[in-house]
Amino acid sequence: MQLNRKDLLGLEELTPEEITLILDTGDSFKEILERPIKKVPALRGKTIANIFYEPSTRTRLSFELAEKRLSADTIGFSQAMSSVSKGETLRDTVENIQAMKVDIVVMRHGSSGAHRFLAEFLDASIVNAGDGQHEHPTQALLDMMTLRQRWGTFEGKKVTIIGDIMHSRVARSNIWGLTKLGAEVTVCGSPTMMPPEVGKLGEGGVNVEFDLRRAISEADAINVLRIQLERQESMLFPSSQEYFEVFGVTNRVLEHAPEHCIVMHPGPINRGVEIAQDVADGDRAVILEQVTNGVAVRMAVLFLVAGGTFEESSLQ
């Protein structure tokens, strides 16, 4: 089975079968990460450029590691070190990179839609590592991989996403991916953190709940979002302390969730703002498991956009 598309721009445009193919391939590649020699020749001879116009720790390192595990050649830069700081346009920058015969461009950019714009005229594959407030598809894929490893299926499962839904590309990608595969999604936050017509997001819509305890009362998993102060033109709540009092996920709040409910966070974590220290480090948290799965699922995405098949991934 093949992906049959050159780019990964977001989960909104993927079919349930395509999302499942990526998750299956990610599971197949995860086994490689357990080996003493964690390297296969799957992308030998391919060149990948990692260009990050916004800060990143997890996504950037995870993509770089995924590329090395697949034996690809890699180059990369961040905005401060590039000619963008001298006024070069995004299109010129990426066309120059392509002229150096790069096969795949992994990019994070602050503008929603930057990747779609580039994908229309580039021959190289474009992989979205986060675009503005739009999508962060590989984050949602690693979240879904973590959930599927525990549940086996998304059908009938309930996921509550808590926080600043309006500014969150992680929330949007999770909503598309989870609803396409049959999970029920509830979003929770203050009304100031909800985009217009939030209930219509995803395949068939999401539940909207402003009371945290009610929002998690039937959840099989909760995904706690980072408060993105850098994207808020004005504060959407009076102070971090007051946000924590109303929407902070603490052990006391979790008493209102089913005992089996797990806690996810895409990172970076603001301890004491959206999540309490003892919850982030507690038994319900799967946050570091998410990070491990991130490498495997990014290996899958890179391999599949380069034309690889699921069957070949299991032979590596």
CA 38 to each of CA 8, 22, 71, 141: distance values in angstroms, whole numbers, following the listed order: 25, 20, 10, 21
CA 263 to each of CA 22, 169, 242, 248, 254: distance values in angstroms, whole numbers, following the listed order: 23, 19, 21, 13, 9
What's the closest the beta carbon of residue 27 comes to ligand CP, in angstroms?
Answer: 21
Which of residues 15 and 57 has its CB atom nearest to ligand CP in the complex?
57
Which of residues 40 and 105 has its CB atom nearest to ligand CP in the complex?
105
Which of residues 42 and 263 has its CB atom nearest to ligand CP in the complex?
263
Residue number with the smallest Cβ distance to ligand CP: 59
What's the closest the beta carbon of residue 169 comes to ligand CP, in angstroms?
Answer: 9
What's the closest the beta carbon of residue 121 comes to ligand CP, in angstroms?
Answer: 27
What's the closest the beta carbon of residue 49 comes to ligand CP, in angstroms?
Answer: 17
* Three-state SS letters, the chain: CECCCCCECCCCCCCHHHHHHHHHHHHHHHHHHCCCCCCCCCCCCCEEEEEECCCCCHHHHHHHHHHHHCCCEEEEEEHHHCHHHHCCCHHHHHHHHHHCCCCEEEEEECCCCHHHHHHCCCCCEEEEEEECCCECHHHHHHHHHHHHHHHCCCCCCEEEEECCCCCCHHHHHHHHHHHHCCCEEEEECCHHHCCCCHHHCCCCCCEEECCHHHHCCCCCEEEECCCCHHHCCCCCCCCHHHHHHHHCECHHHHCCCCCCCEEECCCCCCECCCECHHHHCCCCECHHHHHHHHHHHHHHHHHHHCCCEHHHHCCC
Residues of this chain that bind ligand CP (CB under 6 A): 56-60, 130, 139, 266-268
What's the closest the beta carbon of residue 92 comes to ligand CP, in angstroms?
Answer: 25
What's the closest the beta carbon of residue 178 comes to ligand CP, in angstroms?
Answer: 17
Which of residues 138 and 313 has its CB atom nearest to ligand CP in the complex?
138
Which of residues 43 and 106 has its CB atom nearest to ligand CP in the complex?
106
Which of residues 25 and 50 has its CB atom nearest to ligand CP in the complex?
50
What's the closest the beta carbon of residue 238 comes to ligand CP, in angstroms?
Answer: 26
Which of residues 90 and 291 has its CB atom nearest to ligand CP in the complex?
291
Which of residues 40 and 227 has its CB atom nearest to ligand CP in the complex?
227
CA 248/CA 263 separation, integer angstroms? 13
CB atoms inside a 10 Å sphere around CB 17:
9
What's the closest the beta carbon of residue 139 comes to ligand CP, in angstroms?
Answer: 5
